Amino acid sequence: MPQLTEYTNLPPPPFNQSNLVFYNSTLRQTLHMSVGGEQIRLEFSNAFGTVDLPITAVTVALPSNGSSGDSAIKTETLQPVTFSGNSSIIVPNGALVVSDPLNFPIAPQSTITVTMYLAQGQASNYITSHPGSRATSYFSFGNYVNAANMTDPSTQNIAHWYFVSGVQTWAPSSTSVWAIVGDSITDGRGSDTDGNDRWPDLVLRRMQQNPLTANIAVINQAAGGNRILYDGLGPNAQGRIERDVLSQSGVRYAMIFEGVNDIGTADTTAAAQQEVGDRLLLAYQQIITRVHTFGIPIFAATITPFGAPNSTIQPYSDPTRELTRQRINTWIRNGTGSGSLFDAVVDFDAIVRDPSNPAQLNPMYNSGDYLHPNVAGYTAIANVFPLDLFTEFAFGVSSFS
């Protein structure tokens, strides 16, 4: 999910200067695939840039050890990337560009390395990125798009992605896409850097082992701090459904797991929590209606606990907010009493909550901040995720035209 880069997530100096980032710089980034294919295309986004993004050169290769966060590549797999036949391209502010198709076979759940060189950099500190990459990226001064490794003395690394926003693969019509809209829990806060063990990654592993779901790609459209009702860390979820779900190629299933940041950032007064709860319920219904318009089923997850011994440990923790969480979860599960308006509900709350204190995460699943599960928690979610949903809704849902 592309988003505006907060000041604290810009590249460190000297790659970040006043109104200029990545001047004469090479960025090497690793990306984890879901399904496989014989051809790919790369997407680069300048959605939140206020000026042009001049891309001088791009290459793609396989990492030397096959894993995320590897700075070295298998040089025999290296290929140049072109854009409508050109080796370079200028991306206007707010725009997305897609590369030409590459005969670059990828295996399911494999990792690829994308290396890009910006001779001029981008003349702004308002740039597009995804800070929660959970994958190590590298950058150096100079052009190293063809280098076997990033070993220049200027090289630095950081767990963010910049500019690259997606990988498409040419696939048969039997292949489909599951798009997940979420916040930091779906983005993998509390998972292992370079481990690809967010809960969607772990569900993908199970899907790849099942012949009935092995042809479903997973795209993770989540960002830390994201909210349904208000922009902040990325555009609000209600506003980005078009971009992140409906405009994606091959989407046949959608899911939303959001709302905790709306509840947790609203004041703790009864009036404020009533208002945010009312608005969330309306927003969910609008999202359902919009997704159903395209015949796509939409699943939901209940909001997981964020209670803590005190608000110093977890600022969201508050009894009034807990009442709102329970109210929202009751509606997600049951609607107004006649059944959920979502096509299916996966009760994440029931999976990770503490049986003896349901307002808190189970201690074995607590990453330490009482909000984000750890890898054990993400594994628990993935292990019980009902894969039969994908066969149940394989033919979509009825829709308006």
Residue 16, classified by CB atoms within 10 Å of its CB into exposed (0-12), middle (13-18) or buried (19+), is middle
**pTM score, whole prediction:** 0.96
Q: What share of the chain is helix, strand, coil (3-state, %, to 5)?
A: 25, 30, 45
**Tens of each residue's pLDDT in the chain, 401 residues:** 999 999 999 999 999 999 999 999 999 999 999 999 999 999 999 999 999 999 999 999 999 999 999 999 999 999 999 999 999 999 999 999 999 999 999 999 999 999 999 999 999 999 999 999 999 999 999 999 999 999 999 999 999 999 999 999 999 889 999 999 999 999 999 999 999 999 999 999 999 999 999 999 999 999 999 999 999 878 999 999 999 999 999 999 999 999 999 999 999 999 999 999 999 999 999 999 999 999 999 999 999 999 999 989 999 999 999 999 999 999 999 998 888 999 999 999 999 999 999 999 999 999 999 999 999 999 999 999 999 999 999 988 887 65
Number of other CB atoms surrounding residue 6 within 10 Å: 12
Alpha-carbon distance 185 to 233, whole Å? 14
Which amino acid would we find at residue 235? P
The residue type of 299 is F
**216, exposed or middle or buried, with CB in 10 Å at 0-12, 13-18, 19+?**
buried
Residue 21 DSSP one-character state: E
Q: Could you tell me how far CA 322 lies from the centroid of its own chain? A: 26
**Domain coordinates of the chain in residue numbers?**
3-166, 172-393
The CATH number assigned to the domain with range 172-393 reads 3.40.50.1110
| 246 and 291 Cβ atoms separated by less than 8 Å | yes
pLDDT at residue number 384: 98
- CA–CA separation, 183 and 107 (whole Å): 28
Name the residue with tokens 């890009």. Answer: 116
Please tell me the distance from the alpha carbon of residue 290 to that of residue 282, in angstroms, as a whole number: 12
What φ, ψ does residue 183 adopt, rounded to 5°?
A: -115, -150
Q: How many residues does the chain have?
A: 401
Looking at residue 232, what is its pLDDT?
Answer: 83
Find out whether 130 and 62 touch, Cβ atoms under 8 Å.
no
For position 401, what pLDDT does the model report? 54
First to last CA, the chain: 28
Contact 179, 251 (CB under 8 A): yes
Query: Cα(387)–Cα(210) distance, rounded to whole angstroms?
Result: 9
CB atoms within 10 A of CB 61: 22
SS3 61: strand
Q: Determine contact, residues 373/185, Cβ cutoff 8 Å.
A: yes
Rounded CA-CA distance 313/324 in Å is 20
